[in-house]
Structure 1
Amino acid sequence: MVAFGVFLSGFVISEPAPYELVMAAQIGLWFLLGLKISRANAPLLVLLLLFNVGGMFSLTVMKDMSGGPMYVAVSLFLALSSVFYAAIIEDEHRRLALIFKAWVAAAVITSMLGIIGYFHVLPGFDVFTLYDRAKGAFQDPNVFGPYLVPPALYLIYRLLNGKLSEAPLAIAGLMVLSLGVLLSFSRAAWALFAFSAIALVAIMLLKERTGAFRLKILSLSIAAILVMMLGMAAAMQSKKVYDLFESRAKLVQEYDGARLGRFERHKMGFLMSMERPLGLGPMMLGKMFGEDEHNIWLKSLTTYGWLGFVCYIILIWWTLIIGFRNLLRDRPWQPYLMIAWVMVAGHALIGNVIDIDHWRHVYLLFGIVWGCAALESRHQRAEREKRLHPAPPPPAQADRSLLDY
Structure 2
Amino acid sequence: MSAIEPTYARVADPQRATLRLIGSAAVTVGVFLSGFVISEPAPYELWMAGLVGLWFILGLRISRYTFPLLALLITFNVGGMLSLTQMKDIADGPMYIAVSTFLALTAVFYAAIIEDSHRRLQLIFNAWAFAAVITSTLGILGYFQVFPGSEVFTLYDRAKGAFQDPNVFGPFLVPPSLYLVHGILTGNLRAAPLKAAALLILALGVFLSFSRAAWGLFLLTILLLIFVMLLKERTGAFRLRILVLSLAAILMMVASLVIALQFPKVSELFSMRAQLVQQYDGEYLGRFARHRIGLTMMMERPLGIGPMVFGTIFPEDEHNIWLKSLTTYGWLGFISYVVMLCWTLYLGFKNLLKDRPWQPYLMIGWIGVIGHVAIGNVIDIDHWRHVYLLFGIVWGCAALEARHQRDAIRSRPSPSPCEPAPAR
TM-score, with length taken from structure 1:
0.96
The one-letter amino acid of 1:228's match is M
Does residue 290 (structure 1) correspond to residue 312 (structure 2)? The answer is no
Aligned equivalent of 1:115? 140
- SS state of the match for residue 39, structure 1? coil
Does residue 4 (structure 1) correspond to residue 10 (structure 2)? The answer is no
Aligned equivalent of 2:82? 57
Does residue 321 (structure 1) correspond to residue 316 (structure 2)? The answer is no
| 1:170-319 mapped onto 2 (5 Å cutoff) | 170-319=195-344
Q: Is the 8 A contact 2:285 2:315 kept in 1?
A: no
- SS state of the match for residue 162, structure 2? coil
1:183 Cα deviation from its structure 2 partner: 0.1
Which one of the candidate residues 158, 178, 181 is aligned to 1:133? 158
- SS state of the match for residue 103, structure 2? helix
Distance 2:189 2:362 in 1: 23
Aligned residues: 391
Distance 2:358 2:88 in 1: 48
| 1:87-102 mapped onto 2 (5 Å cutoff) | 87-102=112-127
Which one of the candidate residues 71, 75, 91 is aligned to 1:46? 71
CA deviations 1:39-64 (Å, max 9, x no partner) are: 00010000000000000000111111
CA RMSD of aligned residues (A): 1.0
The one-letter amino acid of 1:81's match is T
Query: Is 8-17 or 73-82 further displaced after alignment?
Result: 8-17
The one-letter amino acid of 2:328's match is T
The one-letter amino acid of 1:121's match is V
1:271 Cα deviation from its structure 2 partner: 1.2
TM-score, with length taken from structure 2:
0.91
Aligned equivalent of 1:27? 52
Q: Is the 8 A contact 2:139 2:154 kept in 1?
A: yes
- SS state of the match for residue 60, structure 1? helix
Give runs of ≥4 in structure 1 deviating > 2 Å: 388-391
1:290 Cα deviation from its structure 2 partner: 2.5
Aligned equivalent of 2:20? none
Distance 2:356 2:223 in 1: 22
The one-letter amino acid of 1:48's match is L
Distance 1:185 1:287 in 2: 26
1:16 Cα deviation from its structure 2 partner: 1.7
CA deviations 1:107-165 (Å, max 9, x no partner) are: 00100111000000011010110000000111110000000000000000000000011
The one-letter amino acid of 1:175's match is L
Distance 2:297 2:38 in 1: 32
The one-letter amino acid of 2:32's match is F
Distance 1:106 1:165 in 2: 23
CA deviations 1:307-350 (Å, max 9, x no partner) are: 00001100110000011000000000000000000010011111
Q: Is the 8 A contact 1:96 1:333 kept in 2?
A: yes
Distance 2:181 2:389 in 1: 20
Aligned equivalent of 2:172? 147
Which one of the candidate residues 176, 181, 198 is aligned to 1:156? 181
Does residue 73 (structure 1) correspond to residue 103 (structure 2)? The answer is no
Structure 2 portions without partners, runs of 5+: 1-25, 417-424
The one-letter amino acid of 1:310's match is I
Distance 2:413 2:378 in 1: 51
Q: Is the 8 A contact 2:179 2:364 kept in 1?
A: yes
Does residue 331 (structure 1) correspond to residue 366 (structure 2)? The answer is no
CA deviations 1:269-309 (Å, max 9, x no partner) are: 11111111110100000111121100000000000000000
Distance 1:251 1:282 in 2: 29
- SS state of the match for residue 292, structure 1? coil
- SS state of the match for residue 65, structure 1? coil
Distance 1:170 1:356 in 2: 28
Aligned equivalent of 1:401? none
CA deviations 1:233-280 (Å, max 9, x no partner) are: 010010110010010000000000000100011011111111111101
- SS state of the match for residue 412, structure 2? helix
Distance 1:288 1:272 in 2: 12
Structure 1 portions without partners, runs of 5+: 392-405
The one-letter amino acid of 2:373's match is A
Distance 1:171 1:198 in 2: 17
Q: Is the 8 A contact 1:341 1:369 kept in 2?
A: yes
Query: Is 376-385 or 5-14 further displaced after alignment?
Result: 5-14
Distance 2:273 2:393 in 1: 32
The one-letter amino acid of 2:221's match is S
1:390 Cα deviation from its structure 2 partner: 8.3
